[in-house]
Structure 1
Amino acid sequence: MSSCHTNTEVDLKNHKDKTKLVLAGNPNVGKSVFFNALTGMYVDVSNFPGTTVDISQGVYKNYVVLDTPGVYGVSSFNDEERVARDVILNGDIILNVVDAVHMDRDLFLTQQLIDMGKRVIVALNMMDDVERNGLQIDVKKLSELLGVPVIPTIAVSKQGMEKLKSKLETASTGNTISGIKNLMQSVIPKVSNPAEALLVLEEDENVIERNHIDEKYPFREKIYLQRRKRVNEIVNSVVTETSKGASFKTRLSQWMLKPITGIPILLITLFIMYQFLGVFIAQIVVGFTEEVVMGTYYNNFIMNVFSPLVKGYDFLEKFLIGEFGVLTMVPVYIVGLLLPLVIGFYFLLSILEDSGYLPRIAALMDRVLTKLGLNGRAIIPIILGFGCVTMATITTRILGSKRERFIATMLLGLAIPCSAQLGVIAGMISAIGPVYFLIYLATIMIVFVLAGTLLNLVVPGESTDLLIDIPPLRMPRIKNVLSKTYSKSVAFLKEASPLFVIGAVLITFMDYFGILLAIQNAVAPLTEGFLKLPKEVANAFIMGIVRRDFGAAGLFKLAEEGLLSTVQILISLVVITLFVPCIAAILVIFKERSLKEALIIWFGSMLIAFLVGGLLAFVLV
């Protein structure tokens, strides 16, 4: 792309004597209404040179007015942003249109414009929505904190327009963030103006190239975090929540974000999710698909077809149709167990996303999860983990840093029981009484919190702040929900299914060559001596590696046979919950994390499980 100076001169060749007034703002804030109010019918729309992006320009008194594409920041990630950047860089006055209800989002651009040293005037638009959303804004204080004029407007009804027009010349450079201003001093001598100096620090490749900057200035993340912090401070200072005039939907949104009301709402939501996924899907639906459809009809068909073909070939029989066979365990596991759980969970997740509740859960939990080295966004894989840890591990990709992804994966593998395991555990724990249930729950929660706190202290690096837009609450659209459920379920199964095949092959080899039995025998003394459990429990732990619910079901069978006392049931359930995740989850962990991290997670989970179980045995037995 040619330089911004050349572009602007071409666009404005007939108006060189006029002040360049640039409209800037996020998408859908009403800039076009302001543009029309200023320019009337004297409008020219043309492609910005070198791009396919349309730019509207017109004249108002002694100003040439230019509209820019809606952007969330001045940067160069696409053509729209590059055009907005180049027009803004050459503007004399920036009229920044801000959505009054979403200042926490829109003021990020405002502060960036101020940090660039541009003369800015803010149109605080959509003021009619402020009261409807239960908000009150101190406009005078906002103007003082930003250091620029702020004019309240309702563009669609032209309220505040005349005052805005009369105040255009009062646009000022505003209050820059001191830390950012200090960083700019070393770059300003190498560029033509402070605005470009800031963009060099923010690693804008186009600006760096045209200014022939060779030095590296990797400050983008640092600057963004400072700006985010500054905007949060401003919004917290000038915005007051009030129920006056607010709709029920607005009040509900506010309740969801406040801990005193938000946590009970979240607990009710999680209870409903558990009843749907953990009871209806995991027990009723999976009971039919796994035991009847796949376990009976499909399994009988496969056995009838392949048994005669592989008879006498011991290894081939185990490989294809054995207990862990690629034609038996894998399809039954994927179609009978995993598919209903995946569809059910993505269905619920899509409802949470489409309704706008999921970002509110993230915001509500941010303060708590920050103490564990995560941010509020980590609540998504944690919730997913109660459906399937394998699926949740893949979802940790949404987290902002390698450090967060490691911590989240460790906590998922350690202390989050999947729904397949949870159903068996719930049945066993309910049979031994509420006291033991509370001990079990408290133990798992303490391990989760202590592990997260310790990891936050010892894992190098820094976790990212929660940067999330809070959309309005709305009724989910069934078409959107079904579309998201379908696409995410298919994507997950495509990515995870090959791993299950690998897992089946691996387990078959271990079983055939006696490796599984050797591991069981090696673990048995630890089980009997340290955990004070019967040696048969070792088999359940090993089977838990194959599939978590296999392990839990093994304990259930031992309890039914009277081989476990009440205390031993508690100890074994704690250990199998904290024990390493199933083979499918392990394979995903090795795929998603480095070899070193995956080994730490695997062996760390095993070590913690036995240590906690041994401590319980020491105290209770």
Structure 2
Amino acid sequence: MGCHDELSHIEIPHGAKKIVLVGNPNVGKSVFFNALTGIYVDVSNFPGTTVDISHGKFGGDIVMDTPGVYGISSFNDEEKVARDVILSADIIVNVVDAVHLERDLFLTLQVIDTGIPMVIVLNMMDDVRKQGIRIDLKKLESELGVPIIPAVAVKGVGIKEVKEKLYAAQVGKQPNYVRKAIHGIVDDTCSQADALLIAEGDIHVSARHKTMPREHRETIYQARRERVNEIVDRIVSITHEGSSLSTKIGRMMLRPISGSIILAVAVTLMYYLIGVFVAQDIVDITEDLIMRGYYEPIVRNVVGLFIPEYSILGAYLIGEFGILTMTVTYVFGLLLPLVLGFYFIMSIMEDSGYLPRLATLIDRIMNMVGLNGRAVIPMILGFGCVTMATISTRLMGSERERTIAVALLGLAIPCSAQLGVIAGLLAGIGAKYIVVYILVMLLTLGIVGKALHMILPGKPTDLLIDLPPIRLPRLDNVLTKMMTKSVAFIKEAAPIFALGAAIVTTLEVTNVLVIIQDALAPLTTGILKLPKETANVFIMGLIRRDFGAAGLANMMLEPAQMIVALITITLFVPCIASVIVMFKERGKLEGALIWLGSWVAAFAIGGIVAQVIIK
């Protein structure tokens, strides 16, 4: 339906219809997507963004799941992606939260106004009944002019009907305000959908058609909102009011005191599951025992029969940083358990309705450093694994916020493995140094975050977020999301890790690593007032953060020197796994700036502390 094909990254068979799932966040689209596509699902980044698009097959046609949005526009990456996918659709399945019709119908009417055939799925009808709400479905169908299917997705109710009525999709009723706004814009080269967005002032769609955006957005939006209110008044009635236990818990999550207590419990559980159980216990088995204990020796022995490990080719294949050794160990021994753990937790928090409440609770604090409430997830996960936390910055609403979040994660958030070593070393040098360490880390986070907030153009995106009912998540839905997203990420990450291993091996065989070590020596002795041998700690930290911190345990340092070393190693560049993911998420230029910035910040802040406390 759109004038431009924005889906070139998705293989669409000739003659196949594009069926697009559309809806607000947390309305249950994923359940219908999984039901339509089964296990034949792929996930890819939409070109030019870090937004994932899931797509699969239903018969001979292609089904695509768009990000949850509140409107078709270009206010953030999610809306831009949803807009472009919707404009290319042949059939739209609009999933609506029946409890929140006054909110969700705004998007529904905007989709109807595009003139694309659609069906509407009224999901969560069980919650409608529990809350004493009555919806006149026949009257709603008459008002909108498209098929309406009542559903309870988590119980499988309505899924069969969606499959049966999918191809009975209809073009909805067009109100006068739309016909008037697009008059003179629709022609042989521009569809009604594109014309609508041009009338609403969308600069991107207007640019595609080499025309100026119109200034009808406020008029159209106001008329659409009034129509939503009129429809809701006609079709919805309340029989009685009730407040279930889940509703009370949901309200408690938003209040400052009770919400903070619940947050503390959730953070603790998340940290122990991902930061301790997965990042330490599980990874000890998968990385150290299985991969380094069994896999790597076997691979070295087999490949070594044909290619000596001490040769240049052997170094690239089975050396310390080899493609067949370190790459496979990191991807499957380290990264895969963390990715599975992360997406398992995220799916539970999303399906239960807690994630949006957590973001709402913490939003005001995050605004101070140019972020919004969604940033709480990457920051918490950073204390488990900065690599995984960097991936999770995809939750953020804009590229600006992702840049700030990745920079703060790489600079001042120690991962669990490093934090464990640091905690042990801090315990041995006294309480006052523990206070110094914590204050320096907090000040660094605040100052750097505020500086990036002031320097980077733009402002934090508003936290426009749905607060769905609190409910028990469905295990099958959680596991499906976890596996689909984890497999997609590993497919993306594995080639990049192989490239990173090749680069590090090149530095090793050309002795550049030794040159870096010698270059760091004047900084460690001059600026940081530490022994020359401390340079080895930073080199080890390049490979694994905890290796660097552990290296300090074998050095004879005064308490003041130890605190300087610990501050510097914490602020020092992230480990190779985190750096590779950072370059993947933020691109070459931005990744390089963040990486180099970590070098400068680590030695600058460590040097300031050294000048103050080391006599």
Q: Measure, in 1, the Cα distance between the counterparts of 2:474 and 2:244.
A: 21
Amino acid at match of 1:202: E
2:195 equivalent to 1:202:
no
Give yes or no for contact 1:131–1:246 (8 Å, CA) kept in 2.
Answer: no
Q: Measure, in 1, the Cα distance between the counterparts of 2:321 and 2:310.
A: 16
- Quick one: which of 551, 554, 564 aligns to 2:551? 554
Corresponding residue for residue 252 of structure 1: 249
Q: Measure, in 2, the Cα distance between the counterparts of 1:279 and 1:379.
A: 19
Residues 470 and 518 (structure 1 numbering): CA distance in 2 closer, same or farther, change over 3 Å?
A: same
Shift of 1:502: 1.6
Amino acid at match of 2:547: F
Corresponding residue for residue 357 of structure 1: 354
Give yes or no for contact 1:278–1:422 (8 Å, CA) kept in 2.
Answer: no
SS of residue paired to 2:259: helix
SS of residue paired to 2:253: helix
SS of residue paired to 2:500: helix
Amino acid at match of 2:477: N
Q: Measure, in 1, the Cα distance between the counterparts of 2:538 and 2:409.
A: 18
2:599 equivalent to 1:601:
no
Corresponding residue for residue 520 of structure 2: 523
Shift of 1:459: 0.7
- Quick one: which of 546, 569, 577 aligns to 2:570? 577
User: Counterparts of 1:375-386 in structure 2 under 5 Å?
Assistant: 375-386=372-383
- Quick one: which of 603, 612, 619 aligns to 2:612? 619
Give yes or no for contact 1:282–1:341 (8 Å, CA) kept in 2.
Answer: yes
Shift of 1:318: 2.6
Q: Measure, in 2, the Cα distance between the counterparts of 1:521 and 1:157.
A: 75
Residues 98 and 511 (structure 1 numbering): CA distance in 2 closer, same or farther, change over 3 Å?
A: closer
Shift of 1:282: 2.4
Give yes or no for contact 2:271–2:380 (8 Å, CA) kept in 1.
Answer: no
Q: Measure, in 1, the Cα distance between the counterparts of 2:267 and 2:26.
A: 34
Q: What whole-Å deviation, never above 9, does each CA across 1:186-210 have from its counterpart, x for those lacking one?
A: 9899789xxx99854424799989x
Q: What whole-Å deviation, never above 9, does each CA across 1:94-139 have from its counterpart, x for those lacking one?
A: xxx9967575x348569989xxxxxxxxxxxx99989988xxxxxx
Residues 521 and 157 (structure 1 numbering): CA distance in 2 closer, same or farther, change over 3 Å?
A: closer
Give yes or no for contact 2:26–2:466 (8 Å, CA) kept in 1.
Answer: no
User: Counterparts of 1:91-240 in structure 2 under 5 Å?
Assistant: 105-106=103-104, 154-155=134-135, 200-203=198-201, 215-217=211-213
Amino acid at match of 2:300: M
Provide the alpha-carbon RMSD of the alignment: 4.8
Under a length normalisation based on structure 2, what TM-score does the superposition of the two structures give? 0.65
- Quick one: which of 330, 334, 357 aligns to 2:331? 334
User: Counterparts of 1:359-374 in structure 2 under 5 Å?
Assistant: 359-374=356-371
Q: What whole-Å deviation, never above 9, does each CA across 1:462-498 have from its counterpart, x for those lacking one?
A: 3322222221111122212222222222222221122
Shift of 1:520: 0.8
Residues 157 and 408 (structure 1 numbering): CA distance in 2 closer, same or farther, change over 3 Å?
A: closer
Residues 477 and 510 (structure 1 numbering): CA distance in 2 closer, same or farther, change over 3 Å?
A: same
Amino acid at match of 2:549: A
Corresponding residue for residue 610 of structure 1: 603
Q: Measure, in 1, the Cα distance between the counterparts of 2:433 and 2:221.
A: 45
User: Counterparts of 1:196-595 in structure 2 under 5 Å?
Assistant: 200-203=198-201, 215-217=211-213, 246-311=243-308, 313-558=310-555, 563-595=556-588
Shift of 1:611: 1.6
SS of residue paired to 2:461: coil
Q: Identity of aligned pairs, percent?
A: 50
Q: Measure, in 2, the Cα distance between the counterparts of 1:502 and 1:439.
A: 39
Residues 554 and 156 (structure 1 numbering): CA distance in 2 closer, same or farther, change over 3 Å?
A: same
Give yes or no for contact 1:277–1:419 (8 Å, CA) kept in 2.
Answer: no
Q: Measure, in 2, the Cα distance between the counterparts of 1:467 and 1:421.
A: 36
Residues 510 and 26 (structure 1 numbering): CA distance in 2 closer, same or farther, change over 3 Å?
A: closer
Under a length normalisation based on structure 1, what TM-score does the superposition of the two structures give? 0.65
Shift of 1:455: 0.9
Give yes or no for contact 1:385–1:392 (8 Å, CA) kept in 2.
Answer: yes
Q: Measure, in 2, the Cα distance between the counterparts of 1:221 and 1:542.
A: 56
Q: Measure, in 1, the Cα distance between the counterparts of 2:222 and 2:569.
A: 44
Give yes or no for contact 2:109–2:224 (8 Å, CA) kept in 1.
Answer: no
Q: Measure, in 2, the Cα distance between the counterparts of 1:316 and 1:570.
A: 42
Give yes or no for contact 1:108–1:227 (8 Å, CA) kept in 2.
Answer: no
Corresponding residue for residue 18 of structure 1: none
SS of residue paired to 2:315: helix
Aligned residues: 476
259-268 or 306-315: which moved more?
A: 306-315
Q: What whole-Å deviation, never above 9, does each CA across 1:288-343 have from its counterpart, x for those lacking one?
A: 22222222222332333334443485323333332222233222323332222222
Corresponding residue for residue 67 of structure 1: none
Residues 485 and 78 (structure 1 numbering): CA distance in 2 closer, same or farther, change over 3 Å?
A: closer
